[in-house]
Structure 1
């Protein structure tokens, strides 16, 4: 069963300007050609509403197994540890069947 995985991240006000573009680039490079990923997009919020999160990920996986392989992969964990976790204020996520 296909799974949709949505994540939003909000960061501290002192987040260095280069962090979110680097996070976007590293995540995009990581998923390129990875088995089980049907679609993947991530990016920096446009700032249209003050209450929005700063960054979002929207991904579709062909199975729960593929989603679990993505989230638990050491490279994914390293990207999050380097570019998100040090500045993270809030993380919100949801997964649902497609």
Structure 2
């Protein structure tokens, strides 16, 4: 599996209603897309310093699943409805899953 992370920084005019609408549409989209195994999204908790206002984490089966998710019409519709207007900056990365836990031998 692959974990796809997308971090968004909002433009100055994004409202709480925008974020709530985006979040609802993203969850509705994720529920309908077969390649998605696990999905989470929402405002950055802000525990550590970051320029990201919002985070999407999507676990997909493989690279083909990631491509299918990113190019799916439902994903494109969410981008057009919300993200094009709301996004000042975006960063994305992918990691293999499951994660490897490394513990030092103390």
Give TM-score, length-normalised by structure 2: 0.82
Residue 48 of structure 1: how far off its partner (Å): 4.3
Report the Cα distance in structure 2 between the residues aligned to 1:54 and 1:76, rounded to whole angstroms: 20
Report the Cα distance in structure 2 between the residues aligned to 1:58 and 1:81, rounded to whole angstroms: 19
Residues 25-51 of structure 1, C-alpha deviation per residue, up to 9 Å, x if partnerless? 101001115312111100012344563
Report the Cα distance in structure 2 between the residues aligned to 1:97 and 1:49, rounded to whole angstroms: 23
Contact 1:21 1:44 in 2 (8 A): no
Give TM-score, length-normalised by structure 1: 0.88
Change (3 A) 1:51 1:3: closer
Q: Which residue of 1 aligns with 2:94?
A: 95
SS at match of 1:56: strand
Report the Cα distance in structure 2 between the residues aligned to 1:81 and 1:9, rounded to whole angstroms: 15
Q: Which residue of 1 aligns with 2:14?
A: 15
Q: Which residue of 2 aligns with 1:75?
A: 74
Structure 1 segment 6-85 matched on structure 2, within 5 A: 6-48=5-47, 51-85=50-84
5+ residue gaps, structure 1: none
